[in-house]
Chains A and B, each alone.
Chain A
Amino acid sequence: MRAHSTLTRRLLASTVPVALLLGLGVSPGLADPLIGTKFNSYGLPGGIDTPTAEMLPDATLSATLNYSDLARKNALVFQILPRLTVALRYARFDSQANGVSQSRDYIWDRSFDLRYQFLDENPNGWMPAVAIGLQDFMGTGYYSAEYLVATKTINPRLRVSAGLGWGRLAQSGDIGSPFGDRPGPDEEEGGKPNTDQWFKGDMAPFVSATWQATEKLALTAEYSGDNYACETGIAEDCARDVWLSDKDELKNHINLGASYQWGQNYQLGAYLLGGRQLGLQFSVAMDSSQAPYPSGIEKAPAPVRPRPSPSADPEGWSGAWSADPTAQPAIQKVLSDALDKEGQTLESMSLDANRAEVRIRNRRYMQHSQAIGRTARLMTRALPPSVETLVITTSADGLPTSSVTVRRSDVERLENSEAGQIAAAAQLTDADPRPGNLTFTEGLFPRFSWAVKPYLSTSIFDPDEPFRYEIGAEAVAEYEFTPGLVVSGTVRQRVLGTTEQEGPGSLSAEEYEALDTDYASNGVPRVRSDSRMYSGNDSPTIPRLTLAWYAKPTETVYSRVTVGLLERAYGGASTEVLWWPTNSSLALGAELNRVKKRDFRDVFGFRDYEVTTGHVSAYYQFTDGIRAQLDVGQYLAGDKGATITVERQFANGWRVGAWASKTDLSDEDFGEGSFDKGVSISIPLGWGTGEPSLRRVGGDIRSLSRDGGSKLRVDGRLYDKVRDSQSGQLYQGWGRFWR
């Protein structure tokens, strides 16, 4: 089956969002932000170097590799909100030896951008789309610039943008400094927003035009105030002397470029900067709403079986069957088998003449509503006619979270209707932690599962070696005594790879071992900065081996106790409680851990460093899938502070977030970056394959080498365990109930 029909392609090619076709229907266009298709050298929609006011389609992830003699820029860009674009860039530029960079004559530098489109284009009037942007707004600021830009669609083939830029965009051709002088770049630990520089200093205009020559080919011309001062050795326009290089100066301010759209996802671009420097770039964009198989290719659910009339089955309708002790075991067996085929485990069940409750574990569906919808249909097929009340309780690995109660006649009446109707007919409540009459499915517990498989672990963005990997074999095993009481562990054996054991900073492993300390020279405990010491082990390792007990003491409180080898670097005990009523946007939690640092090589050995770490946490679910989390407490290095996390989760399961931790450790003691922060992205595997699965790909991009603001990485934190079946996320993905 082809991924996109001609119609869809045509709609996309004309940049009409598919939302117009499959959208709100009656309110087309006006409230939509202006969407751009051409990427600039920074990886955002734009001209060549200059920005435009354009956005990407909501939830689009793109990556751009840009190469010229002047720069190498690799950018990851995400449209986090319909009008807010964020960029994370990893760029290489030349630098003279400055005592910090030692032998390297270039720097790989991280930078962040934000762009917000605050005015929509009026397609029928003169009003352009207008956006404000911050480029490289934290830390070093090599590419730092701010801008205000307007973009107008002149005709379907031509778009023109004009704006005012500061910082890099105003290296030359300025028309004054309306907001005062621009202070110099941060030369200390960096990593903090350079608010004192924003919109300060020279201001210069820029203009760009992009002409869509054919459906695939676009030509761009622009006037830019960026004269690449540092790269080409123009000392008076370059913010720091150590950045000066000696490349050929640009002849003028005009840049010309062409880009070729290849399929729906790829774009190839070439451009000429100032009549002198040639550049090439390649972009790949993935719109998370354009899944290859949007509905999934999993098998159809078993249809609802309507009940026979009371006259046709008087015995079934009378409920007399419930007196027969063999009835429930037989029904439970049938239902359990049927659920198993649809990727769910029937953990336990209660059954009386009018009401049935099932406790299910969803092993397959990213949108939990799909698991519930399938269970409801199977219940109509398995249960005697007198059972009218169906209760479907989610068991999150043994934790009963929420219960969906629905009348069987509503399931029969509303089968395959718009999902909102069954949502209105169903009730979502906190699951009763210990109802008296539940019967476990026979043969389920104790449950043992195991697997032996290969693994690949990677580490990127290292300036010495940008990509490191390790391949090996891994055995995982899990033994669940009763629901929620689990022993689990992993054993790994490296086979080959480029990751090596290394000491912190520039120390070798041997040198660090010889120091025989767990503290840095400034007295800060080395809780993460020596994590490379755990790498490159040729003998078997045990990344994790724990006994965990998950429980639900009251209707709204969850608890966890985990003991053992909690993560690669720490072992000990971890405890947690979480208060979260199913229908509440607010959740509160507390975690307390006593851990000891593990030995670098001896799998069961420990080092001398021991610490108590823990947090109190507040979680809040806003609209549009946005959630925020605040943790306050003591971190692994004994430093006290807080972490703020903001994340957006989309109905299809994509998650993108960012966090920052600030503790009482000073910027100097923390070192490079000043405080801990990072971004995370998680993409459901099933989104790409169409096969339903709970698996995800992605990870965190974070500072690996710093000790401040670091948390224990224990598995099975409660919020993540229960979130899928709480009202916020359950209703967000409710549209799949009848899938």
Chain B
Amino acid sequence: MSGTKMRFMLGAAALAMLSACGNVDSDEGSIPGLLAEAARQSVAQRNRTEVAEKVSPSDMAATALRVNKGPLILVGLENAATTQVLAMTGENSGQRTYMTTNEQAIILRDGMLAGTRGLGHDLSVAEMAPSSALIRSGRSGQANRVMRYWTGDGLERPLRLECSIGPGPKAGVILESCKNGPLEIQNNYIVQGGRVTVSRQWIGPDLGYVTIQELRP
């Protein structure tokens, strides 16, 4: 634009830089407060990983079984290299919600992964009833599944996968191999009594695979 004197202002962005006090709770708190909290949590997450690695999964499971009388699963996130015991916090028509002590959740239907909550790249819902029916009855066949994710643009977006289900090389292990274009994934299941009890399942592009083992049904 014309002229030599230009005065503009980037308004509004009043950033606080030091600590703050008051009775306003952290939800309405300062930007640095939130950033600090995020940093603290990410550090805490890293520390937790280290701690988790020191305690063996079997010790963890034994402790959890002693302390908690409800249904429990042992969950390992391969990408994050963490192993944790999750306790069931809700059951709604076959859908079970398991949570860690810091309230991250894994949702299962008959042992099949149906969703995650609080992991940053959550699976909103896996629509996999046809796969589940084949896997839990030990049959081979083709099935389509839809995995839905919350994406950074604020939407819930579907990922459609075409899957073939059949017995794996190891006895008792059922494989579900799915693809969509360049993406190929493989889930492994062990089924007992019509329920998946041990599995390695794919959550999504960022979280990768999770191993789930039923500790107490």
Taken together as a complex, chains A and B put the C-alpha atoms of A673 and B1 apart, in Å, by 6
* Cβ–Cβ contact A689 & B38, under 8 A: yes
| Residue of B whose beta carbon sits closest to that of A687 | B152
* Cβ–Cβ contact A303 & B90, under 8 A: yes
Mark B86-120 against chain A: 1 for CB-CB distance below 8 A, else 0: 00011111010101001111010000001101111
* Cβ–Cβ contact B93 & A306, under 8 A: yes
Partner of A652, one of B12, B124, B153, B207: B153
Residues of B with C-beta under 8 A to A276:
none
Residue from B103, B117, B127, B180 whose CB has the most chain A CB atoms within 10 Å: B117
Residues of B with C-beta under 8 A to A415:
92, 95
Within 8 A of A (CB), among B1-37: 1-25, 27-31, 34-35, 37
Taken together as a complex, chains A and B put the C-alpha atoms of A3 and B206 apart, in Å, by 7
- B67 at the binding interface (Cβ < 8 Å): no
* Cβ–Cβ contact A456 & B4, under 8 A: no
Q: Which of A101-109, A386-394, A569-577, A658-666 contacts B (4 or more CB under 8 A)?
A: A101-109
* Cβ–Cβ contact A109 & B6, under 8 A: yes
Q: Which of A120-128, A208-216, A284-292, A578-586 contacts B (4 or more CB under 8 A)?
A: A284-292
- Residues of chain B having any CB pair with chain A under 8 Å: 1-25, 27-31, 34-35, 37-38, 41, 45, 79-80, 89-93, 95, 97, 99, 102-105, 107, 114-115, 117-122, 124-125, 127, 148-160, 180-183, 205-208
| Residue of B whose beta carbon sits closest to that of A737 | B156
Partner of A650, one of B7, B35, B153: B153
Residues of A with C-beta under 8 A to B3:
100, 140, 189-190, 672-673
Taken together as a complex, chains A and B put the C-alpha atoms of A7 and B148 apart, in Å, by 17
- A700 at the binding interface (Cβ < 8 Å): yes
Taken together as a complex, chains A and B put the C-alpha atoms of A356 and B12 apart, in Å, by 40
Q: A294-B150, A454-B20, A704-B9 are in contact. Are A412 and B1 (CB under 8 A)?
A: no
Q: A1-B45, A689-B35 are in contact. Are A462 and B120 (CB under 8 A)?
A: no
Partner of B152, one of A291, A449, A453: A291
* Cβ–Cβ contact A300 & B99, under 8 A: yes
List 12 interface pairs A-B (beta carbons < 8 Å), by A numbering.
A138-B1, A190-B1, A290-B152, A294-B150, A300-B103, A416-B114, A419-B156, A451-B21, A673-B1, A697-B13, A700-B10, A739-B117
- A640 at the binding interface (Cβ < 8 Å): no
Residues of A with C-beta under 8 A to B34:
685, 689, 691, 693, 695
* Cβ–Cβ contact A189 & B2, under 8 A: yes
Mark A14-27 against chain B: 1 for CB-CB distance below 8 A, else 0: 00001011110110
- A295 at the binding interface (Cβ < 8 Å): yes
* Cβ–Cβ contact A59 & B2, under 8 A: no
* Cβ–Cβ contact A412 & B92, under 8 A: yes
Within 8 A of B (CB), among A402-444: 412-413, 415-419
Residues of B with C-beta under 8 A to A304:
90, 92
Q: A418-B156, A735-B156 are in contact. Are A289 and B127 (CB under 8 A)?
A: no
* Cβ–Cβ contact B41 & A297, under 8 A: yes
Q: A297-B118, A415-B95, A691-B37 are in contact. Are A703 and B7 (CB under 8 A)?
A: yes
* Cβ–Cβ contact B115 & A459, under 8 A: no
* Cβ–Cβ contact B9 & A300, under 8 A: no
Q: For the complex formed, measure the closest distance between the CB of A680 and the CB atoms of chain B, giving whole angstroms.
A: 9
- A155 at the binding interface (Cβ < 8 Å): no
Within 8 A of B (CB), among A700-731: 700-705
- Residues of chain A having any CB pair with chain B under 8 Å: 1-5, 7-8, 10-11, 18, 20-23, 25-26, 28, 59, 95, 100-102, 104, 107-111, 138-140, 186-191, 287-306, 343, 363-364, 366-367, 412-413, 415-419, 448-463, 471, 474, 476, 650-653, 672-673, 685, 687, 689-691, 693-695, 697-705, 732-733, 735-736, 738-739
Residues of B with C-beta under 8 A to A303:
89-90, 92, 97, 105
Residues of B with C-beta under 8 A to A28:
181
Partner of B20, one of A452, A673, A704: A452
Partner of B154, one of A8, A305, A651: A651
| Residue of A whose beta carbon sits closest to that of B97 | A303
Residues of A with C-beta under 8 A to B180:
21, 25
Q: A461-B9, A699-B10 are in contact. Are A451 and B155 (CB under 8 A)?
A: no
Known contacts A296-B150, A306-B91; can you find 13 more A-B pairs with CB under 8 A? Answer: A5-B79, A21-B205, A305-B92, A419-B124, A452-B20, A456-B14, A458-B10, A458-B13, A461-B6, A651-B153, A653-B154, A704-B8, A738-B124
* Cβ–Cβ contact A691 & B97, under 8 A: no
| Residue of A whose beta carbon sits closest to that of B5 | A463
* Cβ–Cβ contact B4 & A101, under 8 A: yes
Taken together as a complex, chains A and B put the C-alpha atoms of A141 and B9 apart, in Å, by 22
Residues of B with C-beta under 8 A to A20:
181
| Residue of A whose beta carbon sits closest to that of B12 | A699
Residue from B10, B119, B152 whose CB has the most chain A CB atoms within 10 Å: B152
Residue from B2, B151, B180 whose CB has the most chain A CB atoms within 10 Å: B2
* Cβ–Cβ contact A705 & B1, under 8 A: no
| Residue of B whose beta carbon sits closest to that of A95 | B4
| Residue of B whose beta carbon sits closest to that of A706 | B7
Taken together as a complex, chains A and B put the C-alpha atoms of A451 and B26 apart, in Å, by 11
* Cβ–Cβ contact A8 & B181, under 8 A: no
Residues of A with C-beta under 8 A to B127:
418
Q: For the complex formed, measure the closest distance between the CB of B99 and the CB atoms of chain A, giving whole angstroms.
A: 6
